[in-house]
Structure 1
Amino acid sequence: MSIEPEATEPRWAVPPVGGWTADDLDTLPNLPPHTELIDGSLVFVSPQTFFHSWAVDFFTWQLRSLAPPDLQVVREFTIDIDRYNRPEPDVIVFDSEVVPDPDQTRFPAESVRLAIEVVSPESRSRDRETKPVKYARVKIPHFWRVENHDGRAVVYVFELEPATGAYTSTGIFHDRMKVSVPFPVDLDLTAITPRRRAADPQ
């Protein structure tokens, strides 16, 4: 009678004393895609909703088409906050002078001009409370939070207040979003709500 080998837990299933570090994200084998590090703990991404995927695509492509030459846009890429925090915003606007290496896995926080989080039910507390505090601490100038309100996108826009070092709200946008920083943007937010495509004419 053969004996089946015992299943072994992946190394990341048991955190070390003191928690994981930012460098561990690059060396731990078989981590699920888009794993983040928050306060030394690994945070795994739940299956994306259609709204989340659609909104991330929308902001990525719209901002890429509008960004000036000194800024670039990337989706779902981690940033270094400190040794125990390496979050992954849904969309990042970063300085073009930071030329990414093809094998690069993260950006320094000081190169990030804007971080965007699209809120999912399981990420609501992190996106509303935990992450903005960490982004403000490393002086990322702009933060946008995108939420699904009954199938319609609402964007909450924040800017870093130099005197306090915290984000202050500069606007809440429903159908149309028009801002001047970090560069001029005028977006039709109703386009984030998917619509049935008309049938092709026969």
Structure 2
Amino acid sequence: MTAEPHRFETAPGGLTVADVRAGYDPGFRFELEDGVAVMMASATRWHNRVQRHLAVAMEAVCPSNLSVEVEQAIEITEDFAPVPDILVIDMAAALPDANVYPKAAVHLAVEIVSPGTRRKDRMIRPMDYAHAGIPYFWRIEAEDFQPAVYTFRLDETLGQYSPIDVHRKLLRTSWPFTMEIELADLGH
């Protein structure tokens, strides 16, 4: 016996963040884009290991007023909720039943580039996150299967991210909080 998927009645314009908060589940990992549940690309083993190990390392040094989250949506508009690989949010927004966070609670969005997400992670998401006012963005690239962390800070005057640094072997930063993380073994 298979369970019938839950059907949601949506407005003619499509799905909303309210639908996602209420538990909308199309049966696959998705991001909400312009009211449409868009399937997320499958992640590689390297991507998943970097994501998991980096999130754990960040949690170990994260201050108590912030929280490190993995694959949780950000409400950019009522019909647009992208899902970064890692994000840092205000602890006050980290409710046990939350599956979407308000953009004002997000300090950092991290995207780990995979073969199926290169264009999105390098060009589209930085524009989306900058437009939403998220102060920091990191893009992680595989360089011979070693992570290179490209860090950016929002330039509010320009409305886009400005590069801060590229970290190889060691991620040492004070933004959004002080951390020093060995990168060499994150993907192994």
TM-score range, shorter chain: 0.7 to 0.9
SS in 2 for 1:128: helix
Name the counterpart of 1:146.
140
1:17, distance to aligned residue in structure 2 (A): 5.7
Note the aligned Cα RMSD (angstroms): 2.4
Q: How do 1:92-103 residues align onto structure 2 when only pairs under 5 Å count?
A: 92-100=87-95, 102-103=96-97
Structure with max Cα Rg: 1
Counterpart of 2:62 in structure 1 is 67
Q: Give distance in 2, aligned partners of 1:22 and 1:98.
A: 16
Q: How does 1:81-96 map to 2 (within 5 A)?
A: 81-96=76-91
Corresponding residue of 1:188: 182
Question: Aligned with 1:73: secondary structure?
Answer: strand
| Structure 2, unpaired ranges of 5+ | 1-5
1:56-113, Cα deviation, whole Å (9 max, x unpaired): 101210110011111111111111000221011111111112241x332211010011
- When residues 124 and 19 of structure 1 are mapped into structure 2, their CA distance, relative to the original with a 3 A threshold, is farther
Residues in 2 aligned to 1:28 and 1:67: alpha-carbon distance in whole angstroms: 29
151 and 113 in structure 1: CA distance in 2 versus 1, 3 angstrom threshold: same
2:103 to 100, 105, 109: 109
Compare 170-179 and 38-47 and name the one that shifted more: 38-47
Matches within 5 A, 1:19-30: 19-26=14-21, 30=25
Give CA deviations for 1:171-202 in whole Å, capped at 9, x if unaligned.
111211211111111111101231xxxxxxxx
TM-score by length of 2: 0.87
Residue 174 of structure 1 aligns to which amino acid in structure 2?
R
Gaps of 5+ in 1: 1-9, 195-202
Cα gap change, 1:145 to 1:24, in 2 (>3 Å): same
Q: 2: distance between equivalents of 1:179 and 1:29?
A: 37
Contact 2:26 2:37 in 1 (8 A): no
TM-score, normalised to structure 1's length?
Answer: 0.81
In the TM superposition, 1:22-41 aligns within 5 A as: 22-26=17-21, 30-41=25-36
Percent identity of paired positions between Structure 1 and Structure 2? 31
Q: Could you say which residue in structure 2 is the equivalent of 1:163?
A: 157
1:46 is displaced (CA, Å) by: 3.0
